[in-house]
Amino acid sequence: SLGVGDSVLSNESTGYSNTAFGDLSLSSETNGYGNTVLGMNAASAQNGSNNNTVIGYGARLNATGGSDNVIVGRSAAQTQGSTNYNIAIGAEAGYASTSSGTIYIGYQSGRYKNGLQNTACGHQSQYSGSATGSANNTSYRNSSFGSWALRLVQGGTSHENSAFGTFALQTL
């Protein structure tokens, strides 16, 4: 493993093939492998995770586990938990998402989404379950493309919707 920065890989014991650059990046990882992390505080709580690519200040900051994720952007997937197979690209994309198999591309897309296998592309696309930023939205298998598309999908009953275009199905 290779680390550059204060407290980088400071707890690694049996982990291997990890690369981390930026103060506190991968600082809690003890036994994970194949992770590439760039950015201060990036993936700093992660432990036992494999094959993640994390780039950006505070990206995956509080995520504790999970593997095979691609996270790029400031605070992207910050509270992701132990989820797998996610892509989050953009500042705060997938910020509080705790589900696996999601794709969020764009500023704050999927910011408060918790449903499985959602795809959102566009500024604040599938942002939240409510105007106040509820993080308990568990709707799943929704696809949205365009700024604010499916932005305020309500609760856990809006499943398998497709929205294309700016403001498409903004409130559902």
pLDDT recorded at residue 129: 59
Quickly state the pLDDT bin for 171 (edges 50, 70, 90). confident
pLDDT in tens, 93-129: 999 888 999 999 999 999 988 889 999 999 999 987 5
CA nearest to 153, candidates 121, 144, 83: 144
pLDDT recorded at residue 132: 54
The answer to whether the beta carbons of residues 66 and 81 sit under 8 Å apart is: yes
Q: What is the mean pLDDT of residues 3-29?
A: 96
Return the number of other C-beta atoms located less than 10 Å from residue 30's C-beta. 15
The amino acid sitting at 141 is R
CA pair distance 30, 58, nearest whole angstrom: 19
- Per-residue pLDDT at 156 exceeds 70: no
pLDDT recorded at residue 115: 85
What percent of the chain lies above the pLDDT cut of 70? 94
pLDDT in tens, 133-145: 555 577 889 999 9
* Chain position carrying tokens 């194949």: 34
- Per-residue pLDDT at 85 exceeds 80: yes
